[in-house]
Amino acid sequence: MKALSLARPAPVLSKPLELLDAPDPKPEPSEVLVDIAACGVCRTDLHIVEGEVPAPHYPVIPGHQAVGRVIERGADVRAFAIGERVGVPWVGAFCRRCQFCLSNRENLCDNPTFTGLHRPGGFASRVTARADYVHALPDTMGDDVSVAPLLCAGIIGYRALKQSRLTPGGRVALYGFGAAAHIALQVARRWRCDVYVVSRDEASLERARELGALWTGTIGTPLPHPVGHAVLFAPTGSMIPDIMANLEKGGVLSIAGIYLDRIPELDYATHLFGERELVSTTANTLSDARELLDLAASHDFITQVETFPLADGNQALQKLKEGRLNAQSAVLRM
């Protein structure tokens, strides 16, 4: 099979992903083998490639938003028919033994396995995955390329909204408008929420307005009035003081990314007093994934995608880093 392999972390400008021929993987008894049609390119992939999120060993094949068809099942697998379309997401497995797994908080698992970090990922022609962490994707959900971003961007955006305690009819501000935010906006609109979007470029803001944003503004532009809920999708800690200052009393800011640069000093009276909260979003539970995918199956979410052939994975990551994508998501085609 063809695969993009990372021998060691390096800046994306150095084109660290190498396209190579690798042996086809064989599924373990609890796994399925998936023939991949498309795999989303996530900012987490960028952090893995550049070393901000280090892998436990190298080489590693990144990618964790893979869509394809089951072509082989392990001896113990009863789910999924051969030829059924499935998604292979970021969550590869949880230990199911730690205090967090035993209290229905498996996203905080002490010993998680993540696709494209701890085990080979979806920047390849084929991938194996634990069957109980793979998701069925009905053909009615859309084509492979448009569905791929749902498997991480969609799921994490959905959990980040939940972490902000957004409820139907509320008012939420989204900071940064990439792959996760443009799906989260559509979820919030389904909940009849007013959505404000702050981003660095006018093209993204125009796409946000097309998807139903009530108000948009560039970074540094004050919101028209405080909001009760906010989600930070950009990995930019310097934005946090301004966001916290724009929260209502009792408001919650949820940070959606796995990586964030330095957070400046916060002033208690300005940024936290009045029971304002700052929370992180860590991975996702299996129920988060199922809820988002069920919602997507019934609501025809729009994913704004720029596609690249597998061989151009370095270019896709470089355009993502530099904010030069012609859409909100990048997807590799096999």
Q: What is the predicted pLDDT for the residue at 245?
A: 94
Q: What is the predicted pLDDT for the residue at 294?
A: 95
> Is residue 119 located within the same domain as residue 160?
no
User: Is 149 a member of any domain?
Assistant: no
pLDDT per residue over 1-26, tens digit each?
A: 999 999 999 999 999 999 999 999 99
> Is residue 167 located within the same domain as residue 71?
no
Instruction: Please report which helix (H) or strand (E) contains residue 39, including its range.
Output: strand 31-41
User: Is 195 a member of any domain?
Assistant: yes
- Mean pLDDT score of the chain, rounded to an integer? 96
User: Is 123 a member of any domain?
Assistant: yes
Q: Any residues with CB less than 8 A from the CB of 285 and at least 6 apart, and which? A: 104, 105, 106, 107, 159
> Is residue 206 located within the same domain as residue 81?
no
- Over residues 220-225, the mean pLDDT reads 92
pLDDT at 157 over 90: yes
Residue 257 belongs to a domain with what CATH number?
A: 3.40.50.720
pLDDT per residue over 24-46, tens digit each?
A: 999 999 999 999 999 999 999 99
pLDDT at 196 over 90: yes
> Is residue 120 located within the same domain as residue 12?
yes
Q: What is d(CA 316, CA 333) in angstroms, rounded to the nearest whole number?
A: 11
pLDDT at 81 over 90: yes
Place of tokens 């919030």: 188
> Is residue 124 located within the same domain as residue 214?
no
Got the DSSP string for 192-257? Answer: T-EEEEEES-HHHHHHHHHTT-SEEEETTPPPSS-EEEEEE-SS-GGGHHHHHHTEEEEEEEEE--
Q: What is the predicted pLDDT for the residue at 248?
A: 97
Containing structural domain, residue 70: 2-137+299-333
> Is residue 53 located within the same domain as residue 117?
yes
- Is the Cβ–Cβ distance between 130 and 39 less than 8 Å? no
User: Is 306 a member of any domain?
Assistant: yes
pLDDT at 300 over 90: no
Residue 321 belongs to a domain with what CATH number?
A: 3.90.180.10
> Is residue 20 located within the same domain as residue 104?
yes
User: Is 145 a member of any domain?
Assistant: no
> Is residue 186 located within the same domain as residue 311?
no
Percent of the chain at pLDDT > 70 equals: 100
Distance of CA 220 to the CA centre of its chain: 25
Distances in whole angstroms, Cα of residue 24 to Cα of each of 2, 21, 27, 204: 9, 9, 10, 39
Helices (H), 9-120: 43-50
pLDDT at 172 over 90: yes
pLDDT at 299 over 90: no
pLDDT at 275 over 90: yes
Q: Any residues with CB less than 8 A from the CB of 57 and at least 6 apart, and which? A: none
Q: What is d(CA 117, CA 64) in angstroms, rounded to the nearest whole number?
A: 9
Place of tokens 């596609």: 307
Query: Looking at 8-12, 300-304, 311-315, which range is the least confident one?
Result: 300-304
Q: What is the predicted pLDDT for the residue at 303?
A: 94
3-state DSSP helix/strand/coil percent for the chain, to nearest 5? 30, 30, 40
User: Is 310 a member of any domain?
Assistant: yes
Distance of CA 164 to the CA centre of its chain: 16
> Is residue 96 located within the same domain as residue 193?
no
> Is residue 204 located within the same domain as residue 112?
no
User: Is 127 a member of any domain?
Assistant: yes
Split into its structural domains, the chain has a count of 2
> Is residue 172 located within the same domain as residue 203?
yes
Q: What is d(CA 223, CA 9) in angstroms, rounded to the nearest whole number?
A: 38
For 83, other C-beta atoms within 10 Å of its C-beta total 9
- Is the Cβ–Cβ distance between 183 and 233 less than 8 Å? no
- Over residues 74-93, the mean pLDDT reads 97
User: Is 144 a member of any domain?
Assistant: no
> Is residue 185 located within the same domain as residue 127?
no
Q: What is the pTM of this model?
A: 0.94
